[in-house]
Amino acid sequence: MRTVSALFLLATAFLFPVCSASEQKTANQSRPAIALPQSEGLPTPSADPQWDRAARLIAGLEGGEYHRKSMDRLWARIEKQNIEPIRRWIQDKPYLRESNRPVFYPLSGADFINAHTFFPSAPYYLLIATEPPGKPQELLQLSQRSSEKGLTAVRSVITNIAGENYFQSRKMSQTMSNPELSGVLPVFLVWLARKDQEVLSVQSIAITESGDLIAGEGKHPGLRIRFRDRKAGSKEQTLYYFKIFLGPKSLQSAGGQPESRLLGQLEGVNTIMKAAVYLLHNEKYAPLAQSILSKSDLILQDDSGVPYRMFGEPWNLDLYGHFTKPVSLQGMLDPYKHLLQPDLARAYAKAKPQNLPFPYGYGILRGGMSESMLMLARKSR
């Protein structure tokens, strides 16, 4: 496959308020917030159809024939290999499919597609990564003229996902440095438009040095994208993204970082992690792992997320797919031997779960679908 530089891949990954009785029984400790902390002070732009037109153009649903046909082929592959198998997999899991909890995705890169497919009913999604967010104004300019160079870079990233549900850092860097369609924003819009979501507004936001959430520029630049399913009567949802290099205390209210005020207020979230470069296995980042455990009611991840050894009471774990040992990544923060997780390997050997029907995690780099794995942890009360 490829050699991955873990030190520069900290953020790669990659793909309506109803609370079921099953969900209430497994995790009913705190009522989830329906809005991002501090977001009540943000001005909310009116819905404008120009954003949706731009999203559909980038996604190949409108515009030139070559881009449309290329994106149609890629999307058909993504739907067959990733989206439809995940949708079938969550049919008997209302605690995923119907959950009204917000979704938190640290180290996400541009991987909104997995967050939205596993948790389609979340009021908002909060993605944190180190890639630049992008510039909304570029979308409006794109909708008014041809931009084959920009669309070529977008196709390159989507091609990568169509193959393995995985973002290669090299491919991501191509679109990050794209002068016409920069940052993760164009990839987000492809996912939304192709999943039949209507984009209502796209807004640049930021966390300031003092920890305030504002519209405009600041210490941690970000995006707020409002959208809704095109089905009649669908409720509005929101995608938030911030460019943040998470530190050990970033999720603590008194963590001393600009993002601490906002992230420290999260609670009762569904957390998803994928291809997280084993950052949380490093002793230095143990406080970050503990914060994720304390703020989450459910965690869906591969072996590179929260270490298996940290899940005790009140967590219940279900294992899916196949795991014997982690994939070796160049530039790991910890020696490979430290990441072996023999307790997790023993748990898999004992449980003998069936293979996952979709690719997930680093195992696909070594063994394809046969080594795809997923851990699903839920708090019980």
| Sign, Cα dihedral of 268, 251, 202, 43 | positive
Q: CB within 8 A of 75, min separation 6: which ones? A: 60, 158, 162, 194
> Is 47 within 8 Å of 55 (Cβ atoms)?
no
Q: Give the pTM.
A: 0.89
Question: Which element (helix H / strand E) includes 149?
Answer: helix 148-164
End-to-end CA distance of the chain: 43
Question: How far is it, in rounded angstroms, from Cα 322 to Cα 363?
Answer: 8
Domain positions in the chain: 6-379
> Is 323 within 8 Å of 345 (Cβ atoms)?
yes
Tokens of residue 381, six digits: 């009360």
> Is 381 within 8 Å of 28 (Cβ atoms)?
yes
> Is 58 within 8 Å of 154 (Cβ atoms)?
yes
> Is 260 within 8 Å of 211 (Cβ atoms)?
yes
pLDDT per position in the chain (381 positions), as tens? 333 333 333 333 333 333 333 343 344 345 567 899 999 989 999 999 999 999 999 999 998 899 999 999 999 999 999 999 999 999 999 999 999 999 999 999 999 999 999 999 999 999 999 999 999 988 887 754 546 767 887 887 788 666 555 555 555 555 556 666 789 999 999 999 999 999 999 999 999 999 999 999 999 999 999 999 998 788 999 999 999 999 999 999 999 999 999 999 999 999 999 999 999 999 999 999 999 999 999 999 999 999 999 999 999 999 999 999 998 887 788 889 999 999 999 999 999 998 899 999 888 777 777 789 999 999 986
DSSP annotation of 81 reads I
Locus of tokens 């948790």:
119
How confident is the model over 137-158, as pLDDT tens digits? 888 877 545 467 678 878 877 8
> Is 353 within 8 Å of 319 (Cβ atoms)?
yes
Residue whose C-alpha is closest to residue 99's, from 23, 188, 192, 40 = 23
Q: CB within 8 A of 85, min separation 6: which ones? A: 357, 358
3-state secondary structure of 203: strand
> Is 298 within 8 Å of 95 (Cβ atoms)?
yes
Question: How far is it, in rounded angstroms, from Cα 229 to Cα 171?
Answer: 29
Residue whose C-alpha is closest to residue 151's, from 63, 73, 220, 211 = 63
